[in-house]
Amino acid sequence: MIDYQSHLNPAQWEAVRTVDGPVLVLAGAGSGKTRTIVYRLAYMTQQGVPPQRILLLTFTRKAAQEMLHRAGQLMGHGPAALHGVQGGTFHAFAYSVLRRTPPPGFPDRCTLMDRSDAETVMREIKSTAGLGKGDRSFPKTGTILDHYSKARNKELPLDEVVKQESFHLIPYAGAMQQLCDAYAVFRREKGLLDYDDLLFGLESLFRHDPETLARCRERFSHVMVDEYQDTNLVQDRLVTLLVGTGEPGSMGGNVMAVGDDAQSIYAFRGANISNILTFPDRHHGTRLIKLEQNYRSTQPILDLTNAILSQAQAQFRKQLFSDRTDGPVPRLVRPLSDRTQAQIVCEEIIRQCAAYGPEQVAVLFRAGYHSYHLEVALNRAGVRFRKYGGLKYTEAAHIKDAMAYLRVAVNPADMPSMHRILAQVEGIGPKTAASLFNALMAGDAKTVAKLTKKHPQAADMLALLDRLRAAPPRPVPLLEQILEFYQPILERLHPDDHPRRRTGLEELVQIAAGYEDAGQFLADLHLENPEQPEAEGGPAVCLSTIHSAKGLEWRAVHIIDLVEDRFPSRQALLKAEDFEEERRLLYVACTRARDELSLYVPTSIYKRGQNISEPATASPFLREMGVHVFEEWREGYNGMLSKWGGMAREPGSTPAAPAKAQASPPWQPSAAVPKAPPPVSQAAQPAPGDLGWCRHKVFGRGKLVQHLPPDKYRVNFPSFGLKVILAEYLEREE
């Protein structure tokens, strides 16, 4: 017999043994949610509930399989112990019913389409209707299907979704609706179900076929739903149809919903937080159980996460706590700019990799492009990383396109880049591109003239490349010319999402602002960061959007760009529900940390178009917190980090013992600066106490901070942070 109480805390044990009636388990981050479900599966079976009468609904098949496997091992009989339990996704459950009884309006026999099938059908409908013919800006088939799916899952009109997410496609909203209506008719006539039809088809079947609903209710006496905060409206209605709600004064069906309203961050997919918040109101007699003991993070980190949630408007109140009461207080770091932020984070990562291993360090951000500066810094420092939730910026097609122009400007013999540029010309294929390139390299003016006459846009491209080659090799002015030329090409090649891609290109120019030489910029940008599987390439630091990091954990976590317009995003400031979801997103990010948590608030953000750095406003979520939940550190003009009201340290230096020991300050102080260091590049010796400024061929102008005998200097470069450089490579400013 399993000794449940010795392996579960009191709240978990209560959730496990509450088998009958509706139960809502609020599982805070790191509170042992999966363990609770696993033990409850075993407990129900041992209490006589037949496995075949249990339905376990999850959001991934892998999650269900893992839970059933662990429950079987717990019972000592392996997977066979729970043979008969139906565990899987909502969609898999729906298909298991619909393959025997199709939804109303469909033929007796239906087949399930995958995404490729759906695109083929939509493409055929589009061709038959003659919509978008000759219009290169017309939305692609995949884009139409994506918006249609979002509209269905959010249960909003299609034109509303287009307005919210793709304003540049508003002129095509009517045509998109026409195609989607025809697509729906085609599916019904041909007996084809797409992914979303499974849920809506099952709901329609349950509502129009009481016998099928009764059979399902009879078969599944106990329903368990994981991650309930991520359910959309139709999934919530399906659960209600399966178990009933009970009448006021009586108990509803045997359903356990497990989730955390504070981790509801997928509204863009259709998830609706009201499903979990109103669960007790709709399922009469619901027993509410809170799992608040955290097994992941230290108490100082939890104090900060609790402070984040304390200001939430609609929530189930809970207070996470941990037996791990020691540990460093979370750090709130204020770099001088978003550019120096990258260098500070990079140096902290180097320290933590030595302490914990690279696989235990993560940097989280709101949007994929926020990590661009850091990717450059990590590449330059030789730190291996893997990125999740968005491409590495150098892998995106539009970034590669723009960089190809710059590469050819630096090296006219760069054949792959020239081919990439010429491929942007309509009518030029690989053979023509190769012929034109070979003619250019051979000085064959006759062939060049012939081909450019046939393809005038190629002539314009070659003229641009000549202008780039004749200009000073400073990357920002060169990229500005490139982007002006590339903009109409971008809109033609990527009509569906060119505004988003333009943002990435603007960020690329911002990165280039820290360079004086295009060749060095290209070298730093294209230093390869190996992306082999972990078994081959070894462990790596994780860079991830917060959405992609949910469910994961690391010993050290950095969260960057915590300023208004970036976190929360500008769009989220317009609607209260979006603003609150951003708050939950920050909570999810912070609760990924086990031992160390660092929050970064750049003091200024560089505005490329105005060539200035503007003051940045800290995220409102940080402004709401009490200062007692973090230590504040600020970057000085000398490149050193100083604790607000404390002493300075260098980024990346080793922290002292945790605060509990009181043996030393949380950061080691930097070494004193010698008053009379040797000269730089044969220059006159500086005045005592003033090391002055210098220039470096790669990093540009920098402030001399410290002499490192016998022949090195520590220099703070505004765009790169602190660097240790040999004196012979520095030129003092007079």
DSSP state of 102: P
Q: Indicate the pLDDT class of residue 165, thresholds 50, 70 and 90.
A: confident
Rg (CA), the chain: 30
pLDDT of residue 672: 30
HSE-CB of 398 using CA atoms within 13 angstroms: 25
Please tell me which residue, 316 or 702, carries the higher pLDDT value. Answer: 316
Residue 434 has pLDDT above 60, yes or no: yes
- Over 50: is that where the pLDDT of 343 sits? yes
- Give the residue numbers of the binding site: 27-34
718: pLDDT confidence band, cut at 50, 70 and 90? low
Mean pLDDT, rounded, of the chain:
84
Which pLDDT does position 457 carry in this prediction?
87
Cα separation, 628 vs 656, whole angstroms: 20
Q: How far is CA 291 from the centre of its chain?
A: 27
pTM of the model: 0.75
The pLDDT value given to residue 307: 93
Lowest mean pLDDT among 42-51, 273-282, 434-443, 581-590: 434-443
Q: Are 115 and 141 in contact (CB under 8 A)?
A: no
CB 236 within 8 A of CB 202: no
If one counts every other C-beta atom within 10 angstroms of the C-beta of residue 357, the result is: 12
Q: Which of 303-317, 461-475, 648-662 has the lowest mean pLDDT?
A: 648-662
**pLDDT at residue 502 greater than cutoff 60:** yes
pLDDT value for 376: 86
Which 3 state secondary structure label does DSSP give 701?
strand
Please give the pLDDT value at position 721. Answer: 65
pLDDT tens readout for residues 602-660: 998 876 555 567 888 899 999 888 778 999 999 988 888 888 854 455 666 655 433 33
More confident residue, 700 or 51: 51
Q: Which of 127-141, 161-175, 610-624 has the weakest average pLDDT?
A: 610-624
Dihedral of the CA atoms 724, 726, 728, 734 (nearest 10)?
20
Nearest to 255 by CA among 22, 77, 413: 22
Largest CA distance in the chain: 95
Residues of the binding site for ATP: 27-34
- The 3-state secondary structure of 499-537 reads HHHHHHHHHHHHHHCCCCCHHHHHHHHCCCCCCCCHHHH
The two structure tokens encoding residue 503? 């943002």
Tell me, what's the pLDDT at 697?
A: 66
pLDDT at 666: 28
Q: Which residue's entry shows tokens 């009958």?
A: 20
**Residue 524: pLDDT band by 50, 70, 90 thresholds?**
low
Amino acid at 677: P
718, 702 Cβ separation under 8 angstroms = yes
- Show contacts of 117-120: CB within 8 Å, 24+ apart: 117/192, 117/194, 118/145, 118/194, 118/195, 119/145
pLDDT at position 658 is: 37
Alpha carbons 144 and 158: distance in angstroms, whole number: 10
CB 85 within 8 A of CB 41: yes
pLDDT of residue 667: 27
- Residue whose structure tokens are 């690391």: 554
Q: Poorest-confidence range of 158-167, 213-222, 602-611?
A: 602-611
State both tokens at 385: 């990383």
Q: What is the pLDDT of residue 236?
A: 95
Among 52-66, 105-119, 356-370, the least confident range: 105-119
DSSP letter (8 states) at residue 654: P
Residue 654 has a pLDDT of: 58
Per-residue confidence band for 79, with pLDDT thresholds at 50, 70 and 90: low
Residue type at position 37: I
Average pLDDT over residues 310-315: 84
pLDDT of residue 155: 95
Select from 174, 73, 184, 72 the least CA-distant residue to 131. 174
Helix or strand (DSSP H, E) at 332:
strand 331-334
Q: Which tokens is 174 given?
A: 């009517």
Alpha-carbon gap, residue 292 to 28, rounded angstroms = 6
Distance CA 731, CA 727 (A): 8
| Residue pair 717/701 in contact by the 8 Å Cβ criterion | yes
pLDDT confidence of residue 234: 96
The two beta strands, 631-635 and 612-615, are: unpaired
Residue 644, class by beta-carbon neighbours within 10 Å (0-12 exposed, 13-18 middle, 19+ buried)? exposed
The tokens for 252 are 């509803």
DSSP per residue, 254-304: SEEEEE-GGG---GGGT--THHHHTHHHHSTTPEEEEE-B-SSS-HHHHHH
Instruction: Flag the least confident range among 338-347, 584-593, 649-658.
Output: 649-658
Q: Is the pLDDT of residue 528 over 80?
A: no
Confidence of residue 365 (pLDDT cuts 50, 70, 90): very high
Q: pLDDT (tens digit, 9 = 90+) per residue, 386-432?
A: 888 755 556 678 888 888 898 888 888 888 888 888 888 888 888 88
Structure tokens at 86: 């139906």
Residue 52, C-beta contacts closer than 8 angstroms, at least 6 positions apart: 84, 85, 86, 219
pLDDT bucket at 678, cuts 50 / 70 / 90: very low
Mean pLDDT of 344-359: 94
Span 538-558, pLDDT tens digits? 789 999 999 999 889 999 999
Q: Is the pLDDT of residue 372 over 90?
A: no
